[in-house]
Structures are given as structure tokens and as C-alpha cells.
Structure 1
Amino acid sequence: MAAARINLPTIIVTAGPMMSGRFKGKRLSYVRDAFEVIGRFKKGEISEAELRVLEKEACPGAGSCQGMYTANTMACLTEVMGMSLPGSGCALAVSAKRKRIVYDSGQRIVKLIEGKVLPRDIMNRGAFEDAIRVDMALGGSTNTILHLLAIANEAEVELSLELFDEIGRETPHLVNLRPGGDYFMEDLEWAGGIPGLLNTLKDILVDRPTVSGKSIKEIASEGEVLDREVIRSLDSPYDREGGIAILTGSLAPEGAVVKQSAVKEKVKKFKGRAKVFNNEEDAVKAIYAGKIRDHNVIVIRYEGPKGGPGMREMLSPTAAVVGMGLSDSVALITDGRFSGGTRGPCVGHVCPEAAQGGP
């Protein structure tokens, strides 16, 4: 956002994702295997000692969380927009490749300054459209909608929620990492990373410059898919629509968001009795107290930008629902936002928010 606002030569260097953890022969990710297991502990399914081990093993070193959560999604989209070097989105934090990207970025920023290449030369309308396309193909975090709109505002590029909806309906879901799937960021890296995914999407990309000195279509042409189970082809997607859906209706006349790639097919149509809470904390207490039953719809209101204030992240209640074994039988609706690790029938960003008289 700052780069778009002040428009001085900039290159983004992200930290990179963490390696997966290991416990009893299974790979672990931080959100699913640390946050969500708290519910299993509350139910008595695991001991406190096991909980402590999982918390430690799920976070084995440096880097962002291991799935397609918010930090990793934004790192990938930064690469797609052309503001970081090719490979930057997925290279592991502790890898030699990450160190090379850092070194190369230091060299490249000098060239950008000498050539007077500015962020707004890179972050044009086409860059944002491609970022949305890749976001949909990745099944990225719902937070990306907030972030892309905010960055576009600073870059003086007009984006709308309707554009996300339009591109989402046209772009297939090709990569299914955690939280919705079982693959990790390391799997995407080994399968070809963002250049591999761009190669798959190259015919629908908008050609434009990047900080690397190559155009986005040049990068896409050089990309290679090494594992078609991780990066699906256009002929064999996980879903014909993108991973994020824009919803409207009587509860959200101005729009709401759901990560549909993390919602099982059997609960995409859901009917239940509403349980209404006026803040996150009360909802979490009720979930852990066993007051939420099958076929309930948890409504958490007054958590929007004004009502919160600050539009807090509803990771605690969504993780509690999963941990308590309710993810296939309970839905959640909020005017707050979600963690990139949220999964299940969870609808957020309800607009207008409750504090502004929303339904």
C-alpha cells in the first residue's frame, strides 16, 4: 500500500512459508493442528501433553503458516502483480532459494531506481485483474479481497466487489492447499510454484511489466508444472468456479464473502436455527460450553470495521467449531472477517455491518 501511495521504486521481499511439522508420521500445519485441536482437547479427545506437543511440532521453524492462508496468499499475489521476483511467493523461508531471491532483489532494486521504474507502472489494472484470477485459482484467503481493494485504492486503480464475482465465476479452482485441501505450501513450491500456475493460466493473463524486467507472460511461458495433482490443468479443475465466492441476499444486501473451496459440497446448502452473539468472545464461550448444536447457525454481529471496531478476525470461533466436531453441521455468519485458515460454511464481511444498521 505504501509503495502504491508514494510511488517510489520498490521491490517486495517476503519471508516465505514455514516447512510442515511432523507428528506420528503425519504432516502438520499451524492453524489446523494447533488452533483447531484446542476443541479436541476441550472434548477430552487428546491429553494436555499431546496438545503441547502438537503446538510445538506444528510450528517447526521460521516462516508464515504452511497453507494457503492470508500471508502466503498475499505473497503469491504480490508475485503475480509483478512486485516481487518470480518464485518469491512459494520459496520456503529456510531454503537456499529464498536467500537467492533476497540477494537478487537487492541487485534488482538498483536497476529499478536507475530505470525509474515505479510501482504504478507495475500495479496497473491488468495486474489487479490477474491477481484476482490467481487468487480464485489458488482458493486464497478471503482477506485478499480487503487487501487488494485497499492496495488498488492507493494505486488509484478502480476495483469493485462485482469484478471479484465476475472473475471468480470465470476462473477455475486449480490448487487446493490447506485449509480446504491437504496439500501444503511446500507442495506448491515443488510442483512449480506461481510460475507453474501462471503457465497454466497464460492464455487468460494480461501481459504487462514486472519488477524482474520480464513481462508476466514471459514468466508464465518459462514456468513449468511438475505435479499435476497439486496444480490441476484447466481440463481437470477442483471446481469450475474460483475458490472465493461473493454472496448477496437478505442478510447481506451489499455483499458478503465465503471461501467456497473450503466448504464441503454437502453443506453448501444449509438451513438451521440462528444463535446470535454480539461479540466474538461470547460466541467462543458458547461453542466450548457445548451450547451450539447440530444445525445451528452462529451469527456474530458488531464485529465489522465500525462495530468491532476494527473488523477482527474470527479465527477463534471458526477453529472452535472445527475442533468441537461441528464443521459439517454448523454454519457461521459474521460482519467480521476471517483467518485465511477458516474452513467450513462460514460467511463473512456481511455488508452493511450491524453497527451501520445492517440486517
Structure 2
Amino acid sequence: MPDTPSPCEPGDTADSPHRPAGGMRKGLTSYGDQGFSLFLRKAFIKGAGFTDAALDRPVIGIANTGSSYNPCHGNAPQLIEAVKRGVMLAGGLPMDFPTISVHESFAAPTSMYLRNLMAMDTEEMVRAQPMDAVVLIGGCDKTAPAQLMGAASAGLPAIQLITGSMLTGSHRGERVGACTDCRRYWGKYRAGEIDAEEVADVNDQLVASVGTCSVMGTASTMACIAEALGMTVPGGASPPAVTADRIRIAEQTGAQAVQMARDGLSIDKVLTPAAFENAMRVLLAIGGSTNGIVHLTAIAGRMGLEVDLDALDRMGRETPVLLDLKPSGQHYMEDFHHAGGMATLLRELKPLLRLDAMTVTGRTLGEELERAGPGFPQDVVRTIAHPIYPQGGMAVLRGNLAPAGAIIKQSAADARLMEHEGRAVVFENLEDLATRIDRDDLDVTADDVLVLKNIGPKGAPGMPEAGYIPIPRKLARAGVKDIVRISDGRMSGTAFGTIVLHVTPESAIGGPLAHVQNGDRIRLSVKNREIALLVQDEELARRMRANPVVAPTAERGYRKLFLHSVTQADQGVDFDFLRAATMVGKVPR
């Protein structure tokens, strides 16, 4: 007879020297009697038809973020089945469980407002339920970083499974995909270049399947970053959502999770300073979303690491944009996948990478690149000698308008506006913007600088992607395609233009941005990494004294927690009490 202990044997407890506290014996519910706790747990799980043999296997949790509100995760059921198959083939027991699902365009007031809630949900459910490793299924903008934040704090072996990008569509013979083309066609409609019938037609074609945005938006950025961090199986970033390649990646992910559980490959062994340096190199080289630096900062903060924005900027001066994807280039994510995906990019970046960084496979990044073999001819990933853009996709700006820093996506900006001085046209908040931006009597020219206040972490709240301030309608109709815009908010990675974001400290807590007035002169110099309000220090101090800012508060619920605890952009917009208690270092070096 096989040695299968009875679930009620006195020795069958979580702290038994013969039976390690893993699998179903892990994290027993507190009843004051561990033996009874395990007895009760087994009784209930056996109600689902499990045998003792199944329950003795390594338990692999699968975080299910499928939702009817989240078409980016529309393939979650297929991915879960494939992960389960991989787990069982490798000798594990798969257990899927639901967590919060956040979709970019279905979350009010903004998905960023809910990212930390999803991270808390992920962390607590991973901690609360018995599992030896966890597969994190995420894709839409805030879901992948939320899961990595939560898993980093939980500390278990964890592996990310990206849901994958959507396929591209076709509008009147032109290839289109969400959501750079969404913004481009909406801009045409606002400018009167196309009519309501055409904008309705293209609306049917922009999202051709389930999956995340098909350009280098935040979702694609975080997919690439997850692989660069070593948190996915090799090749995990690029396969589109509805392809067999994506399903095979899911099966491999399940099998790898079992191996990680057996090896004890916990997340702290993967999310090292070297991993974050590699992720920052990739963020710069792909022309990634500016949101990527906020999310990386938050994930790093969970590991006790601070992101050094000035060091990141220095890194950007030597890391060119190599990936020819919209909005910085011309291609789409499925083209990147056909070009070899991240292996092709990492192979080109190899001299700049920390090849000793560990990955979820138990091998280093360098070892994985060797296993990937040689490349092949393709035109999506450029060489370092012939880049899309000579520096990294984003630059860090400082000055009296942003003492703690601001970000510009220089690879998607208008070169003619990168060195610019203009008159401020100020909008106090989102309501003011909505009321006045399209008025024919708005006092604005193409040489002005649009300033939007109170859309930072606390200001909106939740730091919405309203930093992509629309071109005033009267300018759009006159053919103006870009104008310098400044805010303390964010913009979608799918957006483009000469846009200064993440101005820190934000206006809602009294940052200098709060005291910009109509008619002030503002100087942007990307070359000098400067964003300056051209008023005397004494005048700025006088304005601050005359109009003190009271930070927003709330009476109850999650909003109260958010407004009380959220940090600024330079600390990842995480909750202060969720960052590691001790900061142990800075990245990059």
C-alpha cells in the first residue's frame, strides 16, 4: 500500500518534521488546533473531488483576472486551461483564484487609482491561500505592475503570464491598431478632416481581437519589462493574445511554476538590482510608455530599491531607441513577435545589459540569450549603429517648475519644439479644460504652452492619463499637430507629442505648478534637461504665500486611504505603507 497518511493523523500537521509546511499544509487557518485546521481544509477541498495524491503535490496558484469589463484579458479562460495543463504535466496541482481586474478604459476615475488596490488584493490573496508558487495572469496597463508589486511584497515564487496583444485591423486599406491610431483618427475628427461616418467606421476596426494594445503602449511596455526583469519564460512578452504561441507560453509558464516551487526560487532572487537595470535599459530602448518608469519605481520600492531618475537619464543618453513600433516608429506588436520578440532586442542590447541577472527559469539572462541562438534578418529591431532615435525614449527634466523631476517622451515628440519658450495658457483642472479647450475665444496660439494643473496622484485623484491635452480645436482646424503641454499627470503610452508629464511635486499639494499663471513664460530645453518657469524666485514665493494649497481629503473608503497614503510620481504613486520598510539601495547604479 502507498504511504498515504490519514488527514486526521496527529503527525500530519503544518509543523511536522516529516511533512514540510507546503502545499495544502501552508498557511493554515487559525482554529487553535493545527491538526484540525488541516483536517477541515482537506475535507472541504475533497468536496471538489480531489484525492490525497493530488493534494500532496506542489500547489500552484493561478491569479485569474478575467472579466467581462476587461477585453484585454478576454483570453484568460484559455490561458488558465493551458497553465493548468503545464502545471499537471510537471507534477503540480493548479488552483486558479480570482482577483481584481482593472481595464484602462472601463475604470473610473482612472485605472491608476485602482492599481494599488489590485496590488493589495494580489498580495493578500497570495499570502492567505495555500500555494507554493503563483502564476500572475495580467496584461492591461495597470494589471501587470499591480501583480508584480503584490507578488514582490508576498515573497513567494512568482511568474508572470502576459495576456498578449490584440491583432491589428484594417480601415479602408490602411492597417490600424489600438490605440495610437485611435488618437490619430480622433485628432482628424476633431480637426474636421474626417466626418462622423468615417470615425464610426474606424471605431469598428481599431481593436480586431481581444488582447492588449497592439502598439508600444503601457501594456506592451510592461510586457517587455516583465520579460526584461526575468519574470516571464523566455519569449513571454510578444506573442499576440489569440495565437497558438501565446497558449504554448501559458503551458510552459505552468510547468516552470512547478519547478520554481520545487527549487524555492522566490521572487527576491529574480527582482534584483541587476534585473531593474536591465528593465530600465529595455524601457529606454523600446521607446516605452512613460508610465513604465512609474510602475518600475513602485515595484522596486517593494524590494527596498529606489529609482535614481538622474542615473536613469544618464543611462538614456547611451541607450538608443531600437524598436520600430508606434508611436515612436511604424510597426505593431505582432510584427515584433515575428521579428523574434525580446530575444532579438536583448541580443542587440547585450553589451549594455547585466547578463548575470537571474530569471524565473533558474538561469541567468546571459544563459537564456545563449540558448536563444543567433538572430535572423528582420526590420523591426534596429541595430545600435542605426537606431530609431539616438537616445532613450524618455528624458528626465528638472527646474524650478519640477524640483523633484518631470518626464518627457522625447522619441515621440516634435523635434522643433524640444527647445522652446512660450506663454502659459493655464487650465486649473479637468473641468476647466473640458469647458474651455474647444472655445473659439480661447486665447491661444501654436507657440504657447498649455498647462494643466491638479491631475497628479492626489489631484484628480489617481493621476489620470489626461496629460495628453488635446490640441485646442481652433488650432487643430488650422492644421496644428503638436504644441508643448505640461501637467502633473500621465499620458497613455500610445500617445505622442511634446508633452511634459509627472511634474513633481504635484500642484494639489502645493508644488510650483500650482502657482503658474496665464501669461507666464515657460522654457523647455530637452537638451539641457530643463523645465523652467521664468518668474523670479521672490515672485513665486509671494504667490505661494498668497495662495496656500490645501491637499484634498476624503471622508471614507478607499478614496480616504488613497489620498492619505499615496506617494508622488518619483516614488511610484504607491502607498507609503506598502513600500519596503528599509531602502537598501538605488537603481540603476
TM-score range for the pair, normalised by the shorter chain length: over 0.9
- 1:183-234 deviation per Cα after TM superposition (whole angstroms, max 9, x unaligned): 1111211112111111111122112221123321122232554445321111
In the other structure, the counterpart of 1:180 is 328
- 1:40-82 deviation per Cα after TM superposition (whole angstroms, max 9, x unaligned): 2233321212111111101111111111000110011000101
In the other structure, the counterpart of 2:452 is 300
The Cα of 1:95 is off from its aligned counterpart by 0.9
Cα distance in structure 2, aligned partners of 1:111 and 1:289? 61
Return closer, same or farther for 1:308/1:14 CA change in 2, 3 Å cut-off. Answer: same
Cα distance in structure 1, aligned partners of 2:322 and 2:248? 28
In the other structure, the counterpart of 1:272 is 422
In the other structure, the counterpart of 1:327 is 481
In the other structure, the counterpart of 1:232 is 382
Give unmatched runs, 5+ long, in structure 1.
none
1:216 has 2:362 as partner = no
The CA RMSD measured in Å over matched residues stands at 2.0
Return closer, same or farther for 1:43/1:275 CA change in 2, 3 Å cut-off. Answer: same
The Cα of 1:303 is off from its aligned counterpart by 1.0
In the other structure, the counterpart of 2:222 is 74
Pick the structure with more strand per residue: 2
8 Å CA contact 1:29–1:59 kept in 2: the answer is yes
Pick one of 320, 327, 337 that aligns with 1:189.
337
In the other structure, the counterpart of 2:180 is 32
Pick one of 233, 236, 250 that aligns with 1:102.
250
The Cα of 1:87 is off from its aligned counterpart by 1.1
- 1:10-64 deviation per Cα after TM superposition (whole angstroms, max 9, x unaligned): 1111111111111121111222332342332233321212111111101111111
What is the letter of the counterpart of residue 251 of structure 1? Answer: L
Pick one of 194, 199, 204 that aligns with 2:347.
199
Return closer, same or farther for 1:280/1:177 CA change in 2, 3 Å cut-off. Answer: farther
Cα distance in structure 1, aligned partners of 2:199 and 2:373? 41
1:313 has 2:465 as partner = yes
Cα distance in structure 2, aligned partners of 1:204 and 1:88? 21
Deviates more, 1:81-90 or 1:265-274: 265-274
Secondary structure class of the residue paired with 2:161: coil
Secondary structure class of the residue paired with 2:403: coil
What is the letter of the counterpart of residue 237 of structure 1? Answer: P
What is the letter of the counterpart of residue 359 of structure 2? Answer: T
What is the letter of the counterpart of residue 427 of structure 2? Answer: F
In the other structure, the counterpart of 1:339 is 492
Query: Whose RCO is larger (CA < 8 A, sep 6+)?
Result: 1
8 Å CA contact 1:302–1:308 kept in 2: the answer is yes
8 Å CA contact 1:287–1:320 kept in 2: the answer is yes
Cα distance in structure 2, aligned partners of 1:216 and 1:30? 31
- 1:214-271 deviation per Cα after TM superposition (whole angstroms, max 9, x unaligned): 3211222325544453211111122331111101122112210011110122221122
In the other structure, the counterpart of 2:509 is 356
Cα distance in structure 1, aligned partners of 2:306 and 2:316? 18
Runs (4 or more) in structure 1 with deviation over 6 Å come to 319-323
Return closer, same or farther for 1:243/1:318 CA change in 2, 3 Å cut-off. Answer: farther
1:127 has 2:127 as partner = no
Aligned residues, how many?
Answer: 358
Return closer, same or farther for 1:320/1:128 CA change in 2, 3 Å cut-off. Answer: farther
Return closer, same or farther for 1:282/1:223 CA change in 2, 3 Å cut-off. Answer: farther
8 Å CA contact 2:180–2:495 kept in 1: the answer is no
The Cα of 1:180 is off from its aligned counterpart by 2.2
Return closer, same or farther for 1:200/1:358 CA change in 2, 3 Å cut-off. Answer: same
8 Å CA contact 1:168–1:241 kept in 2: the answer is yes
Pick one of 369, 390, 394 that aligns with 1:244.
394
**Identity percentage of aligned residues:** 39
Return closer, same or farther for 1:323/1:60 CA change in 2, 3 Å cut-off. Answer: farther
- 1:93-133 deviation per Cα after TM superposition (whole angstroms, max 9, x unaligned): 11110000001111110111111100110000000000000
Cα distance in structure 1, aligned partners of 2:254 and 2:400? 51
Deviates more, 1:3-12 or 1:212-221: 212-221
Secondary structure class of the residue paired with 1:289: coil
Query: Greater CA radius of gyration, 1 or 2?
Result: 2
Within 5 A, what are the aligned runs for 1:27-66? Answer: 27-66=175-214
8 Å CA contact 2:428–2:454 kept in 1: the answer is yes
* TM-score, scaled relative to structure 1: 0.94
8 Å CA contact 2:456–2:488 kept in 1: the answer is yes
Cα distance in structure 2, aligned partners of 1:314 and 1:223? 43
What is the letter of the counterpart of residue 214 of structure 1? Answer: R
Pick one of 125, 144, 148 that aligns with 2:292.
144
Give unmatched runs, 5+ long, in structure 2.
1-148, 513-589
Cα distance in structure 2, aligned partners of 1:261 and 1:228? 22
Secondary structure class of the residue paired with 2:454: coil
8 Å CA contact 1:315–1:338 kept in 2: the answer is yes
Return closer, same or farther for 1:88/1:320 CA change in 2, 3 Å cut-off. Answer: farther
Return closer, same or farther for 1:41/1:116 CA change in 2, 3 Å cut-off. Answer: same
What is the letter of the counterpart of residue 270 of structure 1? Answer: H
